[in-house]
Structure formats: structure tokens, C-alpha cells
Amino acid sequence: MKDKFYTYIQNLQDQICKALEDADGNAKFREDLWERPEGGGGRTRVIENGNVFEKGGVNISAVHGKLPESMQKMFNVGEADFFACGLSMVIHPKSPMVPTVHANWRYFEMYGENGNVINSWFGGGQDLTPYYLFEEDAKHFHQVCKTACDKHNSDFYPKYKKQCDEYFWNSHRNEARGIGGLFFDYCKATENQSMEDWYNFVTELGNSFTQAYVPIVNKRKELPYTDENRTWQEIRRGRYVEFNLVHDKGTLFGLKTNGRIESILMSLPPHVQWIYDHKPEVGSVEEKLVEVLTKPRQWVN
């Protein structure tokens, strides 16, 4: 399974990078191959200063070795070996009219003393973070997520949408990071769902990603915007940074397993503002966004 999924995300990285380069029309991804001293490595691809994308990364990695002590405590196990691979991406557009997007699909194995797999699971998800709310974009993104989920289990979308709203929640701000999507973790084999079933589900989501995001980019990338719109975008990006550094499990996992810092922190946007006690103007479109972030909505039935 680990070889099968790693081959899949290698190909998916190529497909997603090509689709984003086409949408940008100018910038290309820069590739950076790296190795982890304890075992494994990855292929980081970063796009910067494009026509559409100010900064973004589409990274894959496959790492293995001894499970760090901090992770032993998290999983409530003793010494063990592990393998983890996944694709992780964050794309920050230049225009505040185009939403930021994040996605991650991953697979994890843990091994006993004899080298046999004693635990394995899939995890991941994708979510959209707009700076200006276009409801039809939110509905489109969620509909693609729902359609992909429904091919496998009609319970998946409502369950993983709810988990996404709960996970990407800046509790210290009492608001969501964005308008959600899907989030799932520790998806293990059961009587009703084999690991092969989980593989088919996760790859269904990966295959549908460009359909969920690229049409939104193409629809909004030519819209005009002002310096005030850009300032609002940078303020909201600050909330994005806060979530990633304070709450995000993937970032913390990378930092605690001696992950590659440049690849982990590629999720951070290049231009951010923190303005003291900033509040949007009453009745403004900015306030409309914040209202949705404090009370997550159902975007599709």
C-alpha cells in the first residue's frame, strides 16, 4: 500500500502543478529534492511571483525511521518504527478576490519488533480560505467535495465537512480559518471499509482537486481590486498563519519529526499584516465574510 500510494502522489503532484501553471500563465514551479537524515525525503515544488499565484507549494514526501518520543506519546505507544508519505499543498494567490486553498492526503504505517505492520491509516482533506466571499464559489468547492465523497459513502461528506469545520477553527479567535471542505484522519480498515477502499476514496478526492479549485481561480483572477482589498487580504492571512503555527497537527508533526523546515513553512504567505484590534466596517463585504467564519454554513444539501 505504501508503495502504491507514494507512486500515486508522485503522479498527482505532476498533474496539480501543471494545472496551476496553466492557470497562472507565467510562473513555473521550482523543484527541490531533499533527504531526511533519519530516513526518506521528498520533492518540494514552489511557485512564486506569478501572474496569479504570489506563493504556493505542492510537496510530496516519504519519511521513515524510529518514531520520535513526542509522537510515541501522541499515539500512546512505546518504541516503534514508522513510515509516512503524503502530498501537501498551500496556494496563496496574489489577488484578494482569489481564495487561498490547502489540501493534504497522507498515509501512515507503524511497525512492530518483527517489522510487521501493526497499524496503518489514511488521513487528509482540503479546504478553501477566501478573503471576499463569493457564495457560488463556496458552493462549487463543496459540491465537488460532496460528489467525490458520495461515490464511496453518502455519510462521508456531512461527517468530514463537520470535522473540517471543527478542525480548522482558530479557537483563540473563535472563528474558522476559512469556509471549510473536508477533514478526516485515522481512517483504518474495518469490517465495512478495507484499506483498499480507503485508498480508492482518498485518490478520488485527489483526482477531483483541480476541478474543485481551478475553475474558481479562472473565474476570479481578472477581477479588479484596490489597495484596501489587499490590506484586508493580508490581515486575514495573519489568521491563517496563526492557525498553522498554533493548532495545525501536520505542521507540529513535521517540526517534531525533524522535518524539512522550508517545506513545512512553505504554507506561510509572503506578505501578512497584524493590525491591533482590527474590525471590519459594519455592513461591509468584509464583515459578511467574518460572519460566515464565526458561524460555519452548509453550502450544499
Phi, psi torsion values for 278, nearest 5 degrees? -75, 135
By the 8 A CB rule, do 81 and 57 touch?
no
Distance (Å) of CA 227 to CA 69, 178, 232: 47, 22, 9
Active-site option among 64, 92, 102, 152: 102
Q: Active-site residue 278, yes or no?
A: no
- Report the C-alpha gap between 142 and 259 in whole angstroms: 31
Count of C-beta atoms within a 10 Å radius of residue 42: 21
Distance (Å) of CA 265 to CA 110, 129, 170, 252, 254: 26, 18, 18, 11, 10
Catalytic positions: 102
